[in-house]
Amino acid sequence: MDAIGEATAWIINHPDEGWQRFIAYDPTLDTPLNKAAWNATLPRFALRPAALDVKRYRDFEAFLLERGQIKSQSPISRLAVDLNAP
């Protein structure tokens, strides 16, 4: 997760260079649609991908519970691992 966090920060801080490296991998990726998707994706990156968002897990679990997709709530520790916990 540390590597993903570092890569995400680098891409956000160097979007044009990131795009150039992306298309260098496979020049057929250099299309207007892929360029638009690249730019649309950047603001959606989690700046801290290893951070556990307990509220988001709880909200989604409540959504599933309300719709009868699950029968009961679970402890967060059963759903996710907090990589930042001591």
User: Per-residue pLDDT tens for 4-52?
Assistant: 989 999 999 999 999 999 999 999 999 999 999 999 999 999 888 888 8
Rounded to the nearest angstrom, the gap between the alpha carbon of residue 42 and the centroid of all alpha carbons in its chain is 10
Q: How many helices (H) and strands (E) does the chain have?
A: 5, 0
Q: Are residues 10 and 30 in the same domain?
A: yes
Both 39 and 61 in one domain: the answer is no
pLDDT tens string 54-76? 999 999 999 999 999 999 999 99
Per-residue model confidence (pLDDT) at position 67: 97
The rounded distance, in Å, linking the Cα atoms of 56 and 62 is: 10
Same structural domain for residues 13 and 39?
yes
Query: Do 32 and 56 belong together in one domain?
Result: no
Mean pLDDT of the chain: 92
Q: Are residues 40 and 57 both part of a single domain?
A: no
- Predicted TM-score of the model (pTM): 0.64
Same structural domain for residues 6 and 38? yes
Domain match, 6 and 40 both: yes
The answer on 59 and 38 residing in a single domain is: no
d(C-alpha 19, C-alpha 40), whole Å? 12
First and final CA of the chain: distance in angstroms? 16
Count structural domains, the chain: 2
Give yes or no: residues 8 and 39 share one domain. yes
- Structural domain harbouring 34: 2-44
